[in-house]
Amino acid sequence: MEINLEEFQTLLSQLTSFDKMYEQVRFVDPVKKEVLFVKHKNQEEIILVLESCFGIWGKGEVCKNCISMRAYNENDTVIKIETSSDEIIMVTAIPVTIEDRMVVVELLKNVTKSMILGDRELTESLEIKRLLDQANIAAVTDELTQIYNKRYIIERLPVDMLKSHLEKQPILLLMADIDHFKKVNDTYGHLAGDFILKEVAGILGKNTRQGVDWIARFGGEEFMICLTNTDKEKAEAIADRMRKAIEDTVFSYNGEKIKLTSSFGLHTLTSEEIIDYETLIHCSDKNLYEAKKIGRNKVVG
């Protein structure tokens, strides 16, 4: 959609009361991870920039706990504390609709010198940055398995799908489920079940490309694996390798030897297809259901 400067300028005029409170106002497309316009404090006009929204933080990668994607998905205002190389920034993200297009207004305020935690003023910025970075990672991490959680799926998958479309590369989604997992809990106890979930997450992680693919716990004993720039034939081989690795593993817990199998459903999204992330998940989940229906310990795609 063509960017209408006048529409953004009109919206900005309604935000003049924030001039003294914030150092910067940004208009962000969170799906494209792109800043459309920026207005700095005491600056009258907004500037067309069209640059990556995460570049400001100096980390060289997409934010794992993206405030604007969360505001966009929930259609609600969200506040977050973020860190750059030498500053601590409070970001308020407000979703707005302009000509049927939803964007996010980000209000940025430097709070490096004014943050207080309990009764102590926080002046050790490196320690604060470390704590904040840990908090942001924790927000999208499954506490048990230490892989990504469902919130991360909702924030990351639409972005990867768009990137796949723009770069004309396929993206493939795997849904994996531990077969008869309830029997593990009933026979060995829920702590054994938790142990199995962590071990299976580790096996899946070992069979993905670090920094390229990602895995998340979708819920219960179900996992999601996103393979970027991967065709169906290669993905089926990866899924079967994961399936066999789980089948061949003897899980040892409190002297018990536990054997398991798993089922996989996969769906390839070509760069020509335009669907939303929920439809992509449904397609993969449908194939997972088919794998379990025909006997489990299968890969269907």
Residues 6+ apart with CB under 8 A from 296: 179, 180, 261, 263
Nearest CA to 12 out of 30, 33, 36 is that of: 36
Beta bridge mates, 40: 24
Torsion angle (degrees, nearest 10) of CA 164, 168, 174, 175: 60
Beta bridge mates, 253: 256
Amino acid of residue 223: F
Q: Between the CA of residue 201 and those of 30, 63, 179, 231, 278, what are the distances in Å? A: 29, 22, 14, 23, 23
Beta-sheet pairing, 299-300 with 24-29: unpaired
Please identify which of the residues 82, 199, 221, 236 carries the catalytic annotation: 221
Q: How many other β-carbons are positioned within 10 Å of the β-carbon of residue 187? A: 12
Nearest CA to 158 out of 31, 29, 285 is that of: 31
**Residue matched to tokens 């904040």:** 132
Catalytic residue flag (residue 99)? no
**Residue matched to tokens 């640059």:** 51
Residues known to be catalytic: 221
